[in-house]
Amino acid sequence: MTLPSSVPGSREREQLDLFRALPGDLVPRDAQDLMAYPFFSLAKRKRTVPIDFHSGSVTVRVEGTAEHGIATIWDADVLIWAASQIVEARDAGIPTSRLMQARPYEILRYVGRGTSIRDYQRLKAALDRLQSTSVATSIRQASGRRHRFSWINEWKERTDRYGQPLGIELILPDWFYAGVLDAALVLTIDPAYFRLTGGIERWLYRLVRKHGGHQARGWQFDFRHLHRKSGSLARPYDFACDLRALVARQPLPGYALSIERTADGLEILTFQPVPSTARG
């Protein structure tokens, strides 16, 4: 998606220093705000129904276009890559920027995808969804105020004179960039996360990692709260079935899941960290 030089986004690019992606296998890092709240669609099929979440002073509304739909939790891998790059550079004393450049191969390889033409096309579709998704949230805002942004302000492909790709440039929004620069708002995640194939299990891992961390006694959520917090369009009954199936499979790297039932029949999902020596 390339914007003409007359639009505000292109002027923004001119005011930013370019940050080129660092080489190597960097430690994956995720933004805690994105892990704790329903910012992404959990379905692989296009979702245009908005996500609306309210809890106390926290509000999140996510909207997608009819053409692209809401950005998915798989699209969010691009943001995990970006966060990992920014934190690694910051810790090494390298200047960072919201304007980033990388080769598609580097992004795809980092998030565990293939590097075929089809994979490249899927990456471009993900960038389109991230750019066209509109988010409005009260998180990290003064009381009663909301911040509205897209996950990517704009992006474009760079090619040489023969039409061969040189890389991708993208501009991150202030809200995301500021959260990543704050060390207290970023967590490392297990690289095995990228191998999780289901939307609910990806969402649940991020939620568990955010709330449970490495606490020896783990954490608990009742099924109804989890359904609301996920933003999923699945019926509560179907969502509960999916959670039970996850407990049976135990797919989350580093965590063991179990279900407890209260006297009145309420189902509680419990998760505890698994010692590294006990992992397969």
Per-residue pLDDT at 10: 62
Average pLDDT of span 153-176:
90
Confidence of residue 121 (pLDDT cuts 50, 70, 90): very high
Domains and CATH numbers, the chain: 8-188 (no CATH), 197-278 (1.10.10)
More confidently predicted of 159 and 89: 89
Per-residue pLDDT at 12: 75
Average pLDDT of span 130-142:
95
Residue 272 structure tokens = 């505890």
* pLDDT of 248 strictly over 70: yes
Confidence of residue 1 (pLDDT cuts 50, 70, 90): very low
The 10s digit of each residue's pLDDT in 192-244 is: 999 999 999 999 999 999 987 656 666 889 999 999 999 999 999 999 999 99
Average pLDDT of span 157-171:
86
Per-residue pLDDT at 280: 40
Percentage of the residues of the chain whose pLDDT score is greater than 90 = 79
How confident is the prediction for the chain on average, in pLDDT? 91
| pTM score of the predicted model | 0.91
Residue 75 structure tokens = 């699209």
Using a 10 angstrom Cβ sphere, with 0-12 exposed, 13-18 middle and 19 or more buried, the burial of residue 204 is buried
Contact yes or no for 113/41 (Cβ under 8 A):
no
Contact yes or no for 254/242 (Cβ under 8 A):
no
Range with the poorest average pLDDT among 46-55, 236-245, 271-280 = 271-280
* pLDDT of 177 strictly over 50: yes
Per-residue pLDDT at 276: 66
* Measured distance CA(236)–CA(248) in Å, rounded: 18
Q: At what angle do helices 223-230 and 199-212 cross, to 10 degrees?
A: 110
* pLDDT of 279 strictly over 60: no
* pLDDT of 123 strictly over 80: yes
CA angle 79, 48, 137 (to 5 degrees): 55
Confidence of residue 50 (pLDDT cuts 50, 70, 90): very high
* pLDDT of 278 strictly over 60: no
More confidently predicted of 139 and 24: 139
The 10s digit of each residue's pLDDT in 58-103 is: 999 999 999 999 999 999 999 999 999 999 999 999 999 999 999 9
Q: At what angle do helices 174-181 and 77-91 cross, to 10 degrees?
A: 50
Per-residue pLDDT at 5: 36
Within 10 angstroms of residue 265's Cβ, the number of other Cβ atoms is 6
Percentage of the residues of the chain whose pLDDT score is greater than 70 = 92
